[in-house]
Amino acid sequence: MIGGLFIYNHKGEVLISRVYRDDIGYVSMEQSFGWKMRNAVDAFRVNVIHARQQVRSPVTNIARTSFFHVKRSNIWLAAVTKQNVNAAMVFEFLYKMCDVMTAYFGKISEENIKNNFVLIYELLDEILDFGYPQNSETGALKTFITQQGIKGQTKEEQSQITSQVTGQIGWRREGIKYRRNELFLDVLESVNLLMSPQGQVLSAHVSGRVVMKSYLSGMPECKFGMNDKIVIDKQGKGAASDDAGKSGKQSIAIDDCTFHQCVRLSKFDSERSISFIPPDGEYELMRYRTTKDIILPFRVIPLVREVGRTKLEVKVVIKSNFKPSLLAQKIEVRIPTPLNTSGVQVICMKGKAKYKASENAIVWKIKRMAGMKESQISAEIELLPTNDKKKWARPPISMNFEVPFAPSGLKVRYLKVFESKLNYSDHDVIKWVRYIGRSGIYETRC
């Protein structure tokens, strides 16, 4: 298991060091614990942080000791071990560690770490025992790791803490009360596309997340429903045939999804229903991937003509492909230009376009654009004559945007809340749903 955990600043100075196992130091003349630990600390600094080359692997083996590291801004977190540990677990733990620290004191920076080092030690003592990760849900940790100490707790309170930390629902504490029971669901999708110049889709997929902010009292039992094809088809069998046909049209095929640990996976596996007791506040309920029937919000039609050896004519049309009532925002089209470009003249119907020599591209920005519209840009690119035989590779035209719907077609059908002990019902909960589709890697070859 994890033998030790170190946090370094960008210079390689140790900010936090916590050793869980003796074995991680090197054999040294001096058997003092501190001395051994420092050897491991130094080995990482010399071999990774101060290494001349770019980091070639997130796992480094130095003298039979393995170092796992992740970097957050200019802070290095390193876990050290001499055993055959579960590598995936170590990285998951390091990410979790970052989440916990962020939840406690905000951004992970040298200053914040120094300001909170006692807290960090306390957290490390709790979430990692002998190198084994323990409950690391912020919701639970915050009940008993505070910087105020835990004086004056009653016996009930104490046992409530321990049962929560060790219990089945480690991510939520009991006795949460809100005057207004409210929840927000964000369906955040990023749509990725690679299209040929002829408009043929080479590859397209959507990776989406459902993020939930819950402000609910008690221990509410929630059930989340979406237009998952498998579920709809199953229900469709029982319902009238025309109804099934109608709903089947709107359902989507999900390639794969993963869930926050609060979701009962065995239930999802058997019934495909998503039921859970949510953590308090913001968290990611699920992630999913789809590849079928994706709504591509924009189509890019490029036309590049080489006029002689010193001139290129480029015309790009973009067409928006969604309901006219919706508005896409933050649209940016990036048209690459050859390295030997000497000058560019651009005319665009909408928005602003500029040639950015440092980026070798024409960047065309449009603030807003409604559905079912089209816009066009034409540019004349003057080239310096070169004797370079190598042809210009014509990198793809890429695009960025944000649209207020889910390109995968995912729809939230319901989110039911049941809390039997407290006197509020599903109807009393105020629910908000929002869909945001963003461009991932959205490229058209030209």
Partner 1 sequence: MTDSKYFTTTKKGEIFELKAELNSDKKEKKKEAVKKVIASMTVGKDVSALFPDVVNCMQTDNLELKKLVYLYLMNYAKSQPDMAIMAVNTFVKDCEDPNPLIRALAVRTMGCIRVDKITEYLCEPLRKCLKDEDPYVRKTAAVCVAKLHDINAQLVEDQGFLDTLKDLISDSNPMVVANAVAALSEIAESHPNSNLLDLNPQTINKLLTALNECTEWGQIFILDCLANYTPRDDRESQSICERVTPRLSHANSAVVLSAVKVLMKFMEMLPKDLDYYGTLLKKLAPPLVTLLSAEPELQYVALRNINLIVQRRPEILKHEMKVFFVKYNDPIYVKLEKLDIMIRLASQANIAQVLAELKEYATEVDVDFVRKAVRAIGRCAIKVEQSAERCVSTLLDLIQTKVNYVVQEAIVVIKDIFRKYPNKYESVIATLCENLDSLDEPEARAAMIWIVGEYAERIDNADELLESFLEGFHDESTQVQLQLLTAIVKLFLKKPTETQELVQQVLSLATQDSDNPDLRDRGYIYWRLLSTDPVAAKEVVLAEKPLISEETDLIEPTLLEELICHIGTLASVYHKPPSAFVEGSRGVQHKRLPGSAGSGESVESPDTGSAAGVSEAPPAVIPSQGDLLEDLLNLDLTPPTTTGPPPPASSGMQMGAMDLLGGGLDSLMGDESEPPPIPLRTDTPQSPQLPHQSPSPPDYSPTEVGPGDHAGLVKLGGDLGGGPAMGTGFGAPPAAMPASFNVPVSGGLDDLFDLGGGVGMPMGVFNPPKTVWLPAMKAKGLEISGTFVRRAGVIQMEMTLTNKAMSVMTDFAIQFNRNSFGLAPAGPLQVLTPLSPNQSIEAALPLSTVGPVMKMEPLNNLQVAVKNNIDVFYFSCQYPISMLFAEDGKMERQVFLATWKDIPNDNESQFQIKDCHLNSDAASNKLQGSNIFTIAKRTVEGQDMLYQSMKLTNGIWVLAELRVQAGNPNYTISLKCRAPEVSQCVFQNYEMVLKN
Q: What letters, b where the CB count within 10 A reaches 16 and e where it falls short, cover 37-53?
A: bbbbbebbbeebbeeee
Q: Which of 2, 5, 19, 381 binds partner 1 (CB under 8 A)?
A: 19
Residue with tokens 């959507």: 206
What Å distances lie between residue 48 and 7, 37, 91, 113, 234, CA to CA? Answer: 13, 17, 17, 21, 54
Residues 6+ apart with CB under 8 A from 72: 98, 108
Cβ at position 20, least distance to partner 1 in Å: 8
Size of the site for partner 1 (CB under 8 A): 99
- 323 neighbors 218 (Cβ within 8 angstroms): no
Q: Taking the CA atoms of the chain, what radius of gyration do you get in angstroms?
A: 28
Is 225 a binding residue for partner 1 by CB under 8 A? The answer is no
Counting contacts by CB under 8 A, is residue 156 touching partner 1? Answer: no
Q: How far is the CB of 182 from partner 1 (least distance, A)?
A: 24
Provide the minimum distance between the beta carbon of 114 and partner 1 in the complex, in angstroms, as a whole number: 4
Residue from the set 11, 74, 106, 115 that interacts with partner 1 by CB under 8 A: 115
Q: Which long-range contacts (CB under 8 A, 24 or more apart) does 342-346 make?
A: 342/382, 342/383, 342/384, 343/381, 343/382, 344/379, 344/380, 344/381, 344/382, 345/379, 345/380, 346/377, 346/378, 346/379
Q: Which of 185, 184, 183, 188 is nearest to 436 (CA)?
A: 188
Q: Name the DSSP letter for residue 405.
A: S
Q: How far is the CB of 128 from partner 1 (least distance, A)?
A: 10
Residues 310-339 that bind partner 1 (CB under 8 A): none
38 forms part of the interface with partner 1 (CB under 8 A) = yes
Residues annotated within the binding site are 352, 354, 356, 365, 367
> Is residue 182 involved in binding partner 1 (CB under 8 A)?
no
Q: Which residue, 207 or 321, has its beta carbon nearer to partner 1?
A: 207
Binding status of residue 57 toward partner 1 by CB under 8 A: yes
Residue 388 identity (one-letter amino acid): D
Options 203, 329, 342, 386; binder of partner 1; rule CB under 8 A: 203
Give least dist CB 299 to partner 1, A: 21
Map the footprint of partner 1 across residues 362-391, applying CB under 8 A.
Answer: 389-390
Q: How far is the CB of 33 from partner 1 (least distance, A)?
A: 5
Tell which positions 426-445 bind partner 1, by CB under 8 A: 441
Residues in region 252-291 near partner 1 by CB under 8 A: 255-261, 264-266, 268-269, 284, 286-287, 289
- Binding of partner 1 by 235 (CB under 8 A): no
Q: In the window 390-409, what residues touch partner 1 (CB under 8 A)?
A: 390, 393
Handedness of CA 291, 293, 298, 300 (dihedral sign): positive
Q: In what order do the strands lie in the sheet with 374-383?
A: 298-307, 311-320, 374-383, 341-348
Q: Is 358 in the site for partner 1 (CB under 8 A)?
A: no
333 closest CA partner among 369, 279, 285:
369
Q: By CB under 8 A, name the one of 158, 250, 345, 425 that touches partner 1.
A: 158
74 binds partner 1 (CB under 8 A): no
Taking the least distance from each CB to partner 1, the nearer of 147 and 425 is 147
Least gap, CB of 310 to partner 1 (angstroms): 23
Contact residue for partner 1 among 4, 81, 193, 228 (CB under 8 A): 81
> Does the CA dihedral 265-271-273-277 come out positive or negative?
negative
Map residues 117-146 to x or -, x wherever contact with partner 1 holds by CB under 8 A: xx--xx--x---xx-xxxxxx------x--
Selected range binding partner 1 among 43-51, 149-157, 181-189, 352-360, rule: CB under 8 A: 149-157
Q: Are 64 and 23 in contact (CB under 8 A)?
A: no
Give the angle subtended at the CA of 216 by the CAs of 103 and 178, to the nearest 5°: 90
Of 364, 328, 335, whose CA–CA distance to 438 is shortest?
Answer: 328
Residues 183, 216: contact at Cβ < 8 Å? yes
CB nearer to partner 1: pick between 29 and 118: 118
**Residue 192 C-beta: closest distance to partner 1, Å:** 9
Query: Does 23 participate in binding partner 1 (rule CB under 8 A)?
Result: yes
Q: Does 244 bind partner 1 (CB under 8 A)?
A: no
Residues 84-103 that bind partner 1 (CB under 8 A): 84-89, 91-95
Instruction: For residue 62, list its beta bridge partners.
Output: 65
106 forms part of the interface with partner 1 (CB under 8 A): no
With binding defined as CB under 8 A, does residue 33 bind partner 1? yes
